[in-house]
Amino acid sequence: MATIKIPPVLRASVGGEREVSAAGDSVGEVLRSLVEDHPATATQLFGDDGELNRYVNVYLNDEDVRVLDGLATTVGEGDVLVILPAMAGGR
Amino acid sequence: MSPSGAEFIRQVKAQVAEIDPSAVHELVGNGVAIVDVRETEEFATGHLPGARHLPRGYLESRIEGVVPDRDQRVILYCASGTRSALAAHTLTHDLGYQRVESMTGGITLWKDRGYLVDVPQTLSAEQRERYSRHILIPEIGESGQRKLLEARVLLLGAGGLGSPTALYLAAAGVGTLGIVDNDVVDLSNLQRQVIHSTDRIGMPKVDSAEQSIKALNPDVEVVKYQTRLDASNIMEIIAGWDIIVDGVDNFPTRYLLNDASVRLQIPVVSASILGFDGQLSIFKPYDGPCYRCLFPVPPPAELAPSCGANGVLGVLPGTMGLLQATEVVKLIVGAGEPAIGRLLLYDALAATLTEVKVRRDPECAVCSRPPDSIRDEEMGVFPDYEAFCAAAG
């Protein structure tokens, strides 16, 4: 199981959790297992083409999966995925 | 028989080109290399505007670092014109510099003619005391404090993030603080915007911030922009600042700021906050990624909680604003590892700090190109702000 850190804008879609665990051997599998458990996250993460939305960054540990193998990047036991949409509050 | 010292100097002066201070005065700022060959303590008491400093004792070993091109026009000066003549002789006859002149009469005659000299800023006794805890840290010291006093930092917003940043940068002695904010102080601001106060409700935030800054540190000059940053004014407002501190609350301005700061090559210390979460990174154009490398496209409006009022823990902008202020001081004094190419994620509820790497995008729409190729009409390309927020409902 990998741990996924959930950003503020997605927490409502996962019942308010800040971190969830999900199974899978690749980034794509882990995220799809998140979507199965919490269907409201689907449109926020994935576009109609099944690819990650360009405004959402996903990091495996501290590295952007786009500079690794994207959704095919291998995920090991105990790895941490960080989902990061842009945030702009400053007030 | 060997000549006397005075005779030798006369012979040397006959073999070098000399130039009168009035002619040098015409050349200041015209790309001619003006080099002061006096000792360090002499240079520190005042020098010609724009002069480079190379003590005569280091002339041969360091001239290439100061004037790499042997065909460049070089004017040397000292106190009275003797040391510079000797140095000009060396550059011309031993080191192959083609266009070297020595200024007659040195800086003494220059001053007698009434021309201005630049006097490097030194700390007053009061400043030495005020900043004594900085001066004691080797990474800052007196030279770092002088850099802080000479620095110009522009704060976008005197709100949640801007309040603590402005106060601590003022306390640290950052010499000039610019503040851009179009709002007035509201009661609901005071849960977190600590630069303002209850008796200033209704006052423009730039004026309230100036009052607090001046009360804390009268050394600081405050430049106020009571306006909203937009495409029509951004280039004019941000040009000439050393560092920009970004605390803006909406995506369109973030993209606009990014594009303008890349074009002007000004580093942006950026933070954002929501609820119990904060993000921080430095976008230093061409040294590291820009905001568009991190987020090439903004999220759709329904996923961008930046339009209306959102809840935020009052302490959180303090935490994130002071991380910004810390990065600003580090950039100014050149200490440590700035958060360039790294995004720090602070989760206040979990009390964790997570770091992810941000890389330059070789295909970035903005910073993969030379700065002067970014055109006005391309900057801040983004859906219309009102329409964007209206769509967010």
Residue A55: pLDDT band (50, 70, 90) is confident
B-chain CB neighbours of A87 within 8 Å are 272-274, 277, 279, 306
Average pLDDT rounded to a whole number, residues B23-34: 90
* Interchain contact, A89 vs B254, CB within 8 Å: no
Average pLDDT rounded to a whole number, residues B263-284: 93
Judging by DSSP bridges, how do beta strands B176-180 and B221-225 pair with one another?
Answer: parallel
User: Is B293 marked active-site?
Assistant: no
Residue B382 has pLDDT above 60, yes or no: no
Residue B143: pLDDT band (50, 70, 90) is confident
What's the confidence (pLDDT) of residue B309? 62
Query: Measured between CB atoms, does A24 come within 8 Å of chain B?
Result: no
Query: Measured between CB atoms, does A51 come within 8 Å of chain B?
Result: no
A-chain CB neighbours of B254 within 8 Å are 88
* Mean pLDDT for chain B overall: 91
What's the confidence (pLDDT) of residue B1? 75
Of B254, B343, B345, the CB nearest to A88: B254
Average pLDDT rounded to a whole number, residues B9-30: 93
Residue B173 DSSP SS3: coil
Average pLDDT rounded to a whole number, residues B298-306: 69
What's the confidence (pLDDT) of residue A48? 87
Q: Percentage of residues in chain B with pLDDT exceeding 90? A: 73
Tell me the pTM: 0.75
* Interchain contact, B303 vs A82, CB within 8 Å: no
Interface test with A, best of B188, B256, B276, B279 (most A CBs within 10 A): B279
Interface test with B, best of A18, A63, A91 (most B CBs within 10 A): A91
Of A8, A9, A55, the CB nearest to B297: A55
Q: Percentage of residues in chain B with pLDDT exceeding 70? A: 94
Query: Measured between CB atoms, does B275 come within 8 Å of chain A?
Result: yes
* Separation between Cα atoms, residue B209 and residue B184, nearest integer Å: 11
B-chain CB neighbours of A64 within 8 Å are 356-359
Average pLDDT rounded to a whole number, residues B73-87: 96
What's the confidence (pLDDT) of residue B29? 82
Average pLDDT rounded to a whole number, residues B302-330: 85
What DSSP line would sit under B1-68, residue for residue? -PPPHHHHHHHHHHTSEEE-HHHHHHHTTTT-EEEE-S-HHHHHT-B-TT-EE--GGGHHHHHHHH--
Query: Measured between CB atoms, does B254 come within 8 Å of chain A?
Result: yes
The distance of Cα B24 from the centroid of its chain, to the nearest Å, equals: 29
Q: What ipTM does the predicted assembly reach?
A: 0.91
What's the confidence (pLDDT) of residue B385? 45
The residue with greater pLDDT, B304 or B33, is B33
Catalytic residue among B290, B293, B307, B389: B307
Residue A61 has pLDDT above 70, yes or no: yes
Residue B277 has pLDDT above 80, yes or no: yes
Average pLDDT rounded to a whole number, residues B113-135: 90
* Interchain contact, B310 vs A89, CB within 8 Å: yes
- CA-nearest residue to A53 within chain B is B299
B341-357 pLDDT, tens per residue? 999 999 999 999 999 99
What's the gap in Å between the CA of A81 and the closest CA on chain B?
Answer: 11
B-chain CB neighbours of A88 within 8 Å are 248-251, 254, 272, 304, 306
Q: Output the 3-class SS for chain A.
A: CEEEECCHHHHHHHCCCCEEEECCCEHHHHHHHHHHHCHHHHHHHECCCCCECCCEEEEECCEEHHHCCHHHCECCCCCEEEEEECCCCCC
Average pLDDT rounded to a whole number, residues B363-376: 87
Query: Measured between CB atoms, does A40 come within 8 Å of chain B?
Result: no
Q: For residue B348, give Cα distances in angstroms to B26, B44, B145, B275, B356.
A: 60, 48, 32, 9, 17
Of A44, A63, A89, the CB nearest to B274: A89
What's the gap in Å between the CA of B176 and the closest CA on chain A?
Answer: 22
Query: Measured between CB atoms, does A67 come within 8 Å of chain B?
Result: yes
- CA-nearest residue to A85 within chain B is B299
* Interchain contact, A90 vs B343, CB within 8 Å: no
Query: Measured between CB atoms, does B16 come within 8 Å of chain A?
Result: no
* Interchain contact, A87 vs B277, CB within 8 Å: yes
B194-212 pLDDT, tens per residue? 999 999 999 999 999 999 9
